[in-house]
């Protein structure tokens, strides 16, 4: 039994990161119908920039802030330089642009930093906390707590603020949003910035546990995509549940089958969702009534 608990805890920790990546997918997908495969690079940038800022002598919170802000800048630039100019192109082209952007970001990171594996210290030490026979790293609490804070914060933003509702309105009907005076171009910028910030935060939180390097983004993008599919693309609640579920499935696969099959879990999930329930657990965008 302690074994099961241990797998569950590590699954939920990794799952919280997948949930944040899936949330990033969701936000951009809702604003623009684009599946942004550069989402994983935002996570990588969050971790890598923190590593190097910390290494250069900045205190950890400052290093993390620099990393998140820089990543937001990259996200906004991606929208302004690559997505916005291609406005009106088929969605598939836009998705390919994001794949191209992710390759570019990875390449530049490799040149600016290096190809090594890095970490920085956990926020509050590494002393394991006993938990129902299993043990829990303090950093895991940061990861899960951070993810929950982001989800609650975003829920409040979308349901309680006029700006949040303007984002939802733009996602639902871009034409009508413009007619009521919403600058939909700005909403796109906001969505990319927000997704980048969430991705970078995930990278900052998880790097002490999983370590980072210039190429961790591809895997994370795929896992986050699988999580978003599982939960239902476009649904924040789906991103949360899908992410946690995928993390747990992966941990159980690694624990009870073999860690060799761990990464296959995400692909099996994608295929199973496509075959069995293309809408995902929480359905897609609500269907329009004519």
Which residues are at the interface with other proteins (CB under 8 A)?
A: 162, 165-166, 168-169, 171-173, 175-184, 285-286, 288-289
Minimum gap (Å) between residue 290 Cβ and other proteins: 8
Nearer of residues 71 and 170 to other proteins, judged by Cβ? 170
Nearer of residues 176 and 264 to other proteins, judged by Cβ? 176
Nearer of residues 171 and 227 to other proteins, judged by Cβ? 171
Which SS3 state, helix, strand or coil, does residue 277 take? coil
Report whether 47 contacts 212 (CB < 8 A): yes
Burial of 37 (0-12, 13-18, 19+ CB in 10 A): buried
- Cα–Cα–Cα angle for 226, 229, 230, nearest 5°? 85
Minimum gap (Å) between residue 15 Cβ and other proteins: 27
Nearer of residues 44 and 171 to other proteins, judged by Cβ? 171
Which of 196, 204, 199, 71 has its CA nearest to residue 139? Answer: 204
DSSP, residue by residue, 134-153: EEE-HHHHHHHHHHHHHHHH
Minimum gap (Å) between residue 177 Cβ and other proteins: 8
Minimum gap (Å) between residue 211 Cβ and other proteins: 40
Report whether 195 contacts 42 (CB < 8 A): yes
Nearer of residues 20 and 171 to other proteins, judged by Cβ? 171
Minimum gap (Å) between residue 170 Cβ and other proteins: 9
Which SS3 state, helix, strand or coil, does residue 129 take? strand
């Amino acid at each position: 039994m302690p074994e099961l608990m241990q797998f569950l805890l590590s699954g939920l920790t990794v799952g919280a990161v997948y949930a944040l990546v899936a949330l990033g997918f969701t936000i951009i997908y809702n604003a623009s119908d684009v599946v942004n495969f550069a989402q994983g690079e935002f996570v990588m940038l969050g971790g890598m920039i923190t590593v190097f800022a910390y290494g250069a002598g900045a205190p950890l919170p400052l290093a993390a802030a620099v990393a998140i802000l820089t990543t937001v800048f990259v996200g906004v630039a991606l929208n302004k330089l690559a997505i916005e100019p291609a406005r009106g192109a088929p969605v598939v082209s836009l998705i390919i642009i994001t794949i191209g952007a992710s390759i570019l970001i990875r390449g530049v990171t490799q040149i600016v930093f290096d190809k090594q594996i890095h970490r920085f210290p956990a926020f509050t030490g590494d002393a394991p906390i006993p938990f129902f026979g299993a043990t829990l790293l303090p950093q895991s609490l940061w990861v899960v707590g951070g993810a929950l804070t982001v989800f609650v914060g975003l829920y409040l933003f979308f349901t309680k603020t006029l700006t949040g509702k303007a984002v939802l309105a733009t996602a639902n009907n871009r034409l009508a949003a413009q007619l009521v005076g919403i600058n939909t171009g700005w909403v796109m910028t906001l969505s990319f910035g927000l997704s980048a910030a969430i991705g970078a935060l995930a990278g900052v939180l998880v790097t002490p546990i999983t370590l980072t390097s210039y190429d961790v983004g591809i895997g994370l993008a795929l896992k986050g995509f699988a999580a978003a599919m599982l939960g239902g693309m476009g649904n924040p609640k789906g991103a949360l549940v899908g992410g946690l579920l995928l993390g747990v499935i992966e941990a159980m696969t690694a624990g009870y089958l073999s860690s060799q099959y761990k990464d296959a879990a995400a692909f099996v999930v994608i295929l199973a969702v496509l075959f069995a329930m293309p809408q995902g657990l929480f359905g897609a965008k609500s269907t329009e009534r004519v």
